[in-house]
Amino acid sequence: MTATATTAGPLDDGKSRRDFLLIATSTVGAVGTALAVWPLVDSMNPAADVLALASTEVDLSAIQQGQSITVVWRGKPVFVRHRTAAEIKAAEATALSELIDPQPDKARVKKPQWLVMVGVCTHLGCIPLGQKANDLKGDYGGWFCPCHGSHYDTAGRIRKGPAPQNLAVPDYQFLSDTVIRIG
């Protein structure tokens, strides 16, 4: 067996074996190149220390009704709003059929008076206005993005403008009645 296998076969056999060797070598070469390129590509992804950014704890006790604060989580602003009864009512009363990205209000909050969401417009990443008392709040009384004119309602849902999605709600949990941990 070993003796015959190492002996060169007839001419056309040798040719097809050469083709096979060429294709196999090129394939291994191509896969090897791709494997060698991957570390370069992946090096541009977030590094371990960036991924390890700690979660952020927020004390809610100082935030009055109708007030908002902005906290930084993973370098992004997170909006925390103590909603008024009127805002909660407006958000809950909105029919899903009116929404661009339909989501009921209760799916966006853990406790109705506390709205926590990433304050980054889902269009092209600007920070919407509406955190300060005298900011523009848009046509729906929530937030308004000045870059390209997206209007968000009192639940941070997109109502008008180019943004495709509601403002994102991050993972968070209530550690006590007045402290949340984001991330």
Partner 1 sequence: MAAVQWKNPVIKWIDYRLPIFTMVHHDLVDYPTPRNLNYWWNFGSLAGITLVIMVLTGIFLAMYYTPHVDYAFESVERIMRDVNYGWLIRYLHMNGGSMFFLAVYIHVFRGLYFGSYKAPRELLWIIGVFILLAMMATAFMGYVLPWGQMSFWAATVITNLFSAVPLVGEAIVRWLWGGFTVDNPTLNRFYALHFLLPFVILGLVGLHMWALHVHKSNNPLGIDIKSPSDTIPFHPYYTAKDMYGLGIFMTVYLFFVFFAPNFFGEPDNYIKANSLVTPAHIVPEWYLLPYYAILRAITFDIWFIPAKLIGVIAMFASILILVLLPWLDRSPVRSARFRPLYKQFFWLFFVDCLILGWVGANPPDAMLMGKISLLVIGQLATLYYFAFFLVIVPLLGIFERPKPLPESISAAVLKPGAAE
- Residue numbers at the binding site for partner 1 (CB under 8 A): 41, 44-47, 50, 53, 70, 72, 74-77, 123-127, 145-149, 162-164
Q: Which is nearer to partner 1, 31 or 124 (CB)?
A: 124
Residue 157, burial from CB neighbour count under 10 angstroms (0-12, 13-18, 19+): buried
Rounded to a whole number of angstroms, the minimum distance from the CB of residue 173 to partner 1 is 20
Structure tokens at 167: 């403002």
Maximum pairwise Cα distance, the chain: 90
Q: Which of 82, 123, 148, 151 is catalytic?
A: 148
Q: Which is nearer to partner 1, 42 or 177 (CB)?
A: 42
Rounded to a whole number of angstroms, the minimum distance from the CB of residue 74 to partner 1 is 4
Of 60, 103, 55, residue with least CA distance to 79: 60
* 3-state SS assignment for residue 95: coil
Q: Which is nearer to partner 1, 63 or 88 (CB)?
A: 63
Q: Is 148 a catalytic residue?
A: yes
Contact 70, 167 (CB under 8 A): no
Rounded to a whole number of angstroms, the minimum distance from the CB of residue 176 to partner 1 is 27
Contact 116, 171 (CB under 8 A): no
Alpha helices in 43-167 (DSSP H): 48-51, 85-93
Q: Which is nearer to partner 1, 72 or 107 (CB)?
A: 72
Rounded to a whole number of angstroms, the minimum distance from the CB of residue 81 to partner 1 is 16
State the catalytic residues.
Answer: 148
